[in-house]
């Protein structure tokens, strides 16, 4: 036998942890206002930033790596013109040592055949970019140290090219770029003093040029990363606003279909859901019942005990309905005032009648004192039940009318009872 389920609404709308979202929004707003001069976010946000940009960083490092490798070998022309005495060494180091290793690495990285490279973390990626730049600089330093050419000292401007590659082309994260620049400056200064033929009067100008190159490119690197981080924060804030709006929409949608006092569905939602449910059960010729429940002499209860007590009474009756009808595949709603309604599919007439009687007995068993009732000393309910085997040619309005008529009979036969009609 097929069961159609329609869960009762919860006390609150589905939530996406609004407290966490609020704290996150406050943190992001603070960072946008104060800035982040050290190029670091709080730990969790920093990790999100690094991993959010990981695919783009991986693609950028790969693309710029191929281009830079080509340019690296184009400098063989400069080697030939300025360092002819070590051209064979330069040719060997550039084309036969550095290029095959770099090319193998880039192709492996591109194909993702090595798990460490395919799943590279931000730390690994930045380290790869830095090591590739330092390796190129080491090749340059070795060639310079091996040459006796009178133009060798001028070739030290090649360190400026490598610094530009790391800080601007590869665009390493700022602190990696700082470490990279310091390493190249050290390599450059060491090379200056290791070259016996280096003109003393050219030391300061060339070192100054390399230092200026590092300073300018680091400034640009800092600005680029600052913009990237700010865009990330703005995007995250926008996502937070969207999540907040989504939460609000969910709550409003829930409020539009839920009765605020009892937490049950309201009449509008019941009628809309009933149309959909009726189409399903009538198509399958499934048994269907409508149960109308009315709290006996509720106006007298309200007048005698007050509205707060009346509200508490309705909530208690609502709890009985939830507990008794839950799990039976029903749709339960507050129909208006002290009236409730339930749509019960997939039960035969006898089982539905027994369920209605159980609701009546459970409400009476609550022993809610009602001194103004002419039916009982406690709160009771009258129930009207209409049952049918749903068919496509039938109208749900007819079943509702039968249930209303059965409820009328229950009231006029003394209340605190179940009356039923079937078709």
For residue range 158-183, list pLDDT tens digits in order. 899 999 999 999 899 999 999 999 99
Distances in whole angstroms, Cα of residue 375 to Cα of each of 89, 142, 315, 414, 416: 110, 106, 21, 7, 7
Q: Which domains does the chain have, with CATH numbers?
A: 18-241 (no CATH), 267-422 (3.30.70.270)
- Does residue 284 register a pLDDT over 90? no
Under 8 Å between Cβ of 399 and 421: no
Q: With contact defined as beta carbons under 8 Å apart, do 134 and 163 qualify?
A: no
Return the bridge partners of 333, or none: 265, 341
**Mean of pLDDT over the chain:** 88
281 contact partners, CB below 8 Å, separation of at least 6: 4, 287, 288, 345, 346, 390
Structure tokens at 145: 């140290």
pTM of the complete model? 0.62
**Which tokens belong to 55?**
């695919």
- pLDDT score of 330: 85
Say if strands 418-422 and 381-389 run parallel, antiparallel, or are unpaired: parallel
Helices (H) and strands (E) in the chain, counts: 16, 5
* Active site positions, annotated: 338
Among 133-137, 146-150, 181-185, 206-210, the least confident range: 146-150
Residue indicated by tokens 């869960």 = 7
The answer on pLDDT for 10 being more than 70 is no
- Write the pLDDT tens digit of every residue in 326-382: 766 789 999 999 999 999 999 999 999 999 999 999 999 999 999 999 999 999 999
């Amino acid at each position: 036998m097929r069961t159609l389920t329609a869960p009762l609404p919860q006390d609150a709308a589905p939530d996406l942890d609004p407290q966490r979202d609020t704290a996150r929004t406050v943190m992001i707003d603070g960072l946008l206002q104060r800035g982040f001069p050290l190029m670091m976010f709080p730990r969790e946000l920093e990790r999100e930033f690094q991993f959010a940009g990981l695919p783009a960083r991986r693609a950028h490092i790969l693309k710029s790596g191929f281009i830079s490798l080509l340019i690296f070998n184009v400098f063989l022309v400069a080697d030939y013109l300025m360092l002819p005495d070590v051209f064979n060494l330069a040719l060997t180091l550039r084309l036969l040592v550095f290029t095959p290793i770099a090319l193998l690495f880039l192709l492996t990285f591109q194909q993702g055949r090595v798990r460490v490279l395919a799943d590279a973390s931000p730390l690994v990626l930045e380290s790869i970019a830095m090591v590739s730049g330092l390796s190129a600089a080491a090749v340059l330093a070795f060639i310079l140290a091996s040459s006796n050419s009178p133009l060798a000292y001028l070739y030290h401007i090649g360190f400026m090219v490598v610094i530009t590659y790391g800080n601007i082309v590869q665009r390493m994260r700022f602190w990696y770029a700082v470490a990279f620049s310091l390493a190249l400056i050290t390599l450059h200064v060491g090379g200056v003093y290791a070259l016996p033929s280096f003109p003393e009067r050219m030391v300061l100008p060339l070192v100054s040029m390399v230092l200026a190159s590092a300073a300018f490119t680091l400034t640009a690197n800092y600005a680029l990363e600052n913009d990237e981080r700010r865009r990330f924060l703005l995007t995250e804030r926008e996502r937070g606003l969207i999540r907040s709006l989504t939460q609000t929409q969910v709550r409003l949608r829930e409020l539009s279909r839920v009765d605020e006092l009892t937490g049950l569905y309201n009449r509008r939602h019941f009628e809309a859901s009933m149309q959909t449910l009726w189409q399903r059960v009538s198509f399958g010729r499934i048994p269907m019942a409508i149960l109308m429940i009315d709290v006996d002499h509720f106006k007298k209860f309200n007048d005698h005990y007050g509205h707060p007590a009346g509200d508490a009474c309705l909530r208690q009756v609502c709890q009985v309905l939830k507990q008794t009808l839950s799990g039976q595949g029903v749709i339960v709603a507050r129909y208006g005032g002290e009236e409730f309604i339930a749509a019960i599919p997939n039960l035969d007439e006898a089982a539905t009648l027994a369920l209605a009687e159980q609701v009546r007995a459970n409400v009476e068993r609550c022993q809610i004192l009602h001194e103004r009732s002419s039916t009982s000393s406690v709160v009771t309910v009258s129930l009207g039940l209409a049952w049918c085997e749903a068919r496509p040619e039938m109208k749900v309005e007819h079943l509702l009318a039968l249930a209303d008529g059965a409820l009328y009979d229950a009231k006029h036969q003394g209340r605190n009872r179940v009356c039923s009609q079937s078709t």
